[in-house]
Amino acid sequence: MWQKFVQIWKIRDLRNSILFVLAMLVVYRLAAHIPVPGINITALKNLFGSNQLLGLIDIFSGGGMKNFSIIAMGVGPYITASIILQLLMMIIPALEKLSKEGEAGQRKINQYTRYMTVPLAMLQSYGMISILRQTGRGIIGTLTPFQMLTIMITVSAGTMFLMWIGELISERKIGNGISLLIFAGIVSSLPGAFAKTVAVFDKSQLISAVAFLAIAVITIAGVVFLTEAQRNIPVSYAKRIRGNKMYGGTDTYLPLRVNMGGVIPIIFAISIILFPPMVAQFFTRAKTEWIVSAAQWVITVFQNQLVYGILYFTFVVGFTYFYTFVIFHPQQIAENLQKQGGFIPGIRPGANTAEYINRVVTRILLGGALFLGIIAVLPLIIKQMTGIQSMVIGGTSVLIVVSVVIEIVKQIDSQLTMRDYDGF
């Protein structure tokens, strides 16, 4: 291991890329501690500490939302814009055609994503400010239209700034920039959570703490297994003769990952679960009594841990299937295999191959979807099993951290391998 670190450090380009990424992460963390004026930070932190759903959203802002910093929304609007564009590719033929044009088409799609991020950031910032004002905790006082617009523009500019930093990091080929920013936000919260746990630790909780650590290790091992797990479908290529040369005749495989959707299904599920109580917050001060009662009932129902856990698990499993079939197209894979002279042994090319791939994906997704669902509701399970409230394993956080670390290691290894080939 140390030999690899030494090898990385000796390669000038790779060393400079890693140092640049670290410098950008430092800038990101500094920005997360620059607050927007006029906000009661103490009341805001108390709100996020008492609301698990808001705490989960705060993960994607790297703690910026809890501090209401200039990057309070993090990269959330950019992620939302990316998801919306991927869904639009299913219903807009022009976008679907653009996605098949290789690198040039991807650049245009990225540009559309940036354009869409701006209005989404403005809209989400307005919604966030309105919800915080509706809580009645004195987080945000009375704002003039100019002050409201200033805050909206400030936090929206913060989102665009993070998007720019993420793209600069991605250009260095040391992991995905957006994922790295989320990763840095999660890791930065660990020391504070650990210190808080130690401060309130009691000897009577020793068994619970041991159980907590054991579950943490099992969770990390499970996430690594899920991230790397794949089903290999054998593929053979027929021999073709062109002139005096023979091509093909090789055997390979088609890798199908168990978790194709990553954390996107969890993000979808969070959005759906957050929507009803967010809307209900706007009607808690209505003049009509039955509307107020209905709003309070919705908020109470979604604050129930059992209801929240069941709905969350169900949505994650459902969206895992939905999102996988949005981004994965068995028909296209079958057509590409047929054009290249490839076939799955025992399966006829064309429609039969597409049907077989679809059946295999549907089966392996069951395990991946159930595991993702368990990862999502893991914090609730930990609370019930250990009784430790101050530091809970965030299954989503673990999934993001492990996935990002694996991606970084693979990209660095690929760069080292490429330089080894250059030596030959």
pLDDT at 396 over 60: yes
pLDDT at 147 over 80: yes
pLDDT: which is higher, 143 or 259:
259
CB 343 within 8 A of CB 233: no
Q: What angle do CA 396, 304, 392 make, to 5 degrees?
A: 35
Span 145-170, average pLDDT: 89
Quote the pTM value. 0.76
CA distance 138 to 118: 28
Q: Is residue 394 part of a domain?
A: no
CB 36 within 8 A of CB 69: yes
pLDDT of residue 424: 47
Q: What is the mean pLDDT of the chain?
A: 78
Q: Is residue 314 part of a domain?
A: no
Span 229-255, average pLDDT: 74
The total domain count for the chain is 1
Q: Is residue 344 part of a domain?
A: no
pLDDT at 324 over 70: yes
Minimum mean pLDDT range among 158-167, 204-213, 412-421? 204-213
Q: Is residue 146 part of a domain?
A: yes
pLDDT at 391 over 60: no
pLDDT of residue 160: 92
Q: What is the CATH number of the domain that holds 144?
A: 1.10.3370.10
Q: How many CB atoms lie within 10 A of CB 373?
A: 24
Which residue range forms the structural domain that includes residue 85?
A: 1-199
Q: Is residue 317 part of a domain?
A: no
Q: Is residue 212 part of a domain?
A: no
Radius of gyration of the chain (CA): 24
pLDDT: which is higher, 148 or 57:
148
Beta bridge partners of 253: 234
pLDDT: which is higher, 296 or 216:
296
Q: How many CB atoms lie within 10 A of CB 120?
A: 19
Per DSSP bridges, beta strands 230-237 and 251-257 are antiparallel
pLDDT: which is higher, 232 or 101:
232
CB 261 within 8 A of CB 233: no
- DSSP at 35: B
Q: Is residue 256 part of a domain?
A: no
pLDDT in tens, 44-69: 767 666 655 566 666 666 566 777 78
Q: Is residue 257 part of a domain?
A: no
Q: Which of 126-130, 201-205, 274-278, 312-316 reaches the highest mean pLDDT?
A: 312-316
Residue among 267, 276, 282, 339 at smallest CA distance from 308:
276
Residue among 233, 238, 234, 242 at smallest CA distance from 250:
238
- DSSP at 61: T
Residues in the chain: 424
- Which amino acid, 164? W
pLDDT in tens, 248-262: 567 788 888 888 877
